[in-house]
Amino acid sequence: MGGGYHNGTYDDKKGMKYIFADRGRIGKALKGRFLYLFLDYDGTLAPIARTPGGAVTPKRTRGLLRRLSKLRNCKIAVVSGRKLSGVEKRIRLKNIVYAGNHGFEVRGPGLRFEGPVPPGYKKSFAEIKAKLRERFSRIDGVIVEDKSFSLGVHYRLAAGKDMPLVKKIFYSVTGAYEKKDIVTVKAGKMALEIRPPTSWDKGKVVLWLLEKQKALARDKKRKVLPVYIGDDTTDEDAFEVLKDTGLTIFVGRPRKTKAEFYLKDTEDVAKFLETVLNIQAEALRA
């Protein structure tokens, strides 16, 4: 793995590899390690849907998560741009960590975190929401989603001819607020978003959760192998921070990304989780 998990015996300097291309070597990298699985939701655990409410975790995937979460040599965190309560309802498992709003809200066994918002953010947030909803009410297929700490504008259902206009309206409304450092603006898959003006992102919450895990671990010398799987541009922050210490996996067609491996789709993700389950369960039986 070029610049990545060098101790895991996989060293590829030519670019991102399909993770199932060499099962034996990947199995060797995972075997005997405590794994911390960090998983995006939309496009990773659940297929991308036409609307935010339509993304559902397949029964097989949820069953694998449940079984993995019960292993003492594995921990799971779902790291999503969704509102915390929303992603919790879609997984409905008690013994895993949930990080919503790109890590701005975290809840799990022994964990509770909520990022602070600067003065004036909530007022500006309400103003932006009202303006965007009014402007986008004239364009079919645009959904403005209030996620408490962040606001998402989804335009997957908008007509192709309207997409440039959607972006123009969004940036015209948010531009003055961003210039004054009242909000941060981010782009994702067929979505635009405003967040609090902080440097907190998926990469930073992953590092924070890893430090928490080290503090909770009974065996302080036991190394943790982080595995991050995601499909969106917002996952690149996590790929970046784990490039020298973990296994980073992009979901979808290979493209320019900081991840070192890829899986084809959400079905492939389930297949990989099943592989991890078998390796970890076998290690416990040994």
| pLDDT, tens digit, 9 for 90 and up, residues 18-29 | 999 977 878 888
Between CA 108 and CA 96 the distance in angstroms is 6
pTM of the model: 0.86
- Do 30 and 68 meet the contact criterion of CB atoms below 8 Å apart? no
Backbone φ and ψ of 223, nearest 5°: -80, 145
Can 235 be counted among the known catalytic residues?
Answer: no
What dotted CATH number matches 121-195? 3.30.70.1020
Strands 191-195 and 151-154: antiparallel
pLDDT for position 97: 97
Q: Band of the pLDDT at 32, cuts 50, 70, 90?
A: confident
Mean pLDDT of 133-140: 96
Q: Which of 24-33, 35-44, 76-85, 171-180 has the lowest mean pLDDT?
A: 24-33
* 119 vs 71: CA distance, rounded Å: 43
**What is the dotted CATH code of the domain comprising 6-115+200-285?**
3.40.50.1000
Residue 3 predicted with pLDDT over 50: no
11, 12, 22, 40: the active-site residue? 40
Question: How far is residue 250's CA from residue 229's CA, in Å, rounded to a whole number?
Answer: 6
Buried b (16+ CB within 10 A) or exposed e, 265-275: bbebbbbbbbb
Delimit the domains of the chain by residue range.
6-115+200-285, 121-195
- d(CA 230, CA 181) in angstroms, rounded, equals 28
User: Strand runs (DSSP E) across 8-133, as ranges?
Assistant: 17-18, 34-39, 74-79, 97-100, 105-108, 111-114
Radius of gyration of the chain (CA): 19
